[in-house]
Amino acid sequence: DAGVIQSPRHEVTEMGQEVTLRCKPISGHDYLFWYRQTMMRGLELLIYFNNNVPIDDSGMPEDRFSAKMPNASFSTLKIQPSEPRDSAVYFCASSLWGRAVGQPQHFGDGTRLSIL
């Protein structure tokens, strides 16, 4: 079975440019999560969706960040305008949360973003 697929794997762009990261969750999973990993802060949850609806975006750092999930098989995380401090690895994860005791989240291989 295909896992969570993220694209691009690497992105290098100049400050001020718009950046769009893409994610295809595992088919049938009803939760989708966006994380950011940095040396200073580790893995941080930015936003998550349930059935394509954003549930909690309290981790989104600024209004420059936005995320959408137009359908069950696709999500985007957009940064506009980008800044050097946005440089990090961004992970997407999905899960099937059918019971009170949770199911594990399955991660993609991440997008390494460098803003020059």
Partner 1 sequence: DQQVKQNSPSLSVQEGRISILNCDYTNSMFDYFLWYKKYPAEGPTFLISISSIKDKNEDGRFTVFLNKSAKHLSLHIVPSQPGDSAVYFCAASPSYNSGGSNYKLTFGKGTLLTVNP
Inter-residue contact 59 to 48 (CB < 8 Å): no
Q: Which is nearer to partner 1, 14 or 56 (CB)?
A: 56
Q: Which is nearer to partner 1, 45 or 72 (CB)?
A: 45
- Least gap, CB of 71 to partner 1 (angstroms): 20
DSSP secondary structure of 1-18: ----EEE-SEEEE-TT--
- Least gap, CB of 81 to partner 1 (angstroms): 27
Binding site for partner 1 (CB under 8 A): 4, 31, 33, 42-45, 48, 50, 55-56, 58, 91, 93, 95, 97, 100-102, 104-110
Separation between Cα atoms, residue 113 and residue 116, nearest integer Å: 10
Q: Are strands 106-107 and 53-56 parallel, antiparallel or unpaired?
A: unpaired
Q: Which is nearer to partner 1, 69 or 108 (CB)?
A: 108
Q: What is the largest CA-CA distance in the chain?
A: 44
